[in-house]
Structure 1
Amino acid sequence: MPAPSIVLIVDDNPIGRETLEDLLYGQGYTLAFAADGPEALQQAAALTPDVILLDVMMPGMDGFEVCRRLRTDPHLAEVPVVMVTALDDSESRLRGLEAGADDFISKPFKRAELRARVKTITRLNRYRSLLEERAALQHAHEDLIASYDATIEGWVHALDLRDKETEGHSLRVTEMTIRMARAAGTTEPELTALRRGALLHDIGKLGIPDAILLKPGPLTDEEWAIMHQHPQYAYDMLAPITYLQPALDIPYCHHEKWDGTGYPRGLAGNAIPLAARLFAVVDVWDALRSDRPYRRGWPEHEVLAYLRAQAGTHFDPWAVELFFQVLEAMPCK
Structure 2
Amino acid sequence: MAVIVAAEDDADVAGLLATTLVRAGHVVHLAGTGPRALQMVAECHPDLVILDHGMPGMSGLDVGRRLRADGATAAVPMMMLSASAPAGAREVFDQVLNKPIPFRQIADVARDLLSSTGDRRLTAGRALTDPARLAAVARLLDEPDPVDELSLAMEIANLAEATGAPSAAVGLVLDTTLQNVASVGLPDLIVEAGGAPVEWTPCGVLAGTNRPLLFDDLSADPIFKDIPMVTFSAVRSYAAIPLHSPEGLVVAAMAVMDTAPRRFSGRTLDTLLAAAPRVMRLIDKRR
**1 or 2, which has the higher helix percentage?**
1
Greater RCO (Cα-Cα under 8 Å, separation 6 or more): 2
**1 or 2, which has the higher strand percentage?**
2
For the superposition of Structure 1 and Structure 2, which TM-score range results when normalised by the shorter chain?
0.3 to 0.5
Larger radius of gyration: 1
Q: TM-score normalized by structure 1?
A: 0.35
Q: TM-score normalized by structure 2?
A: 0.40
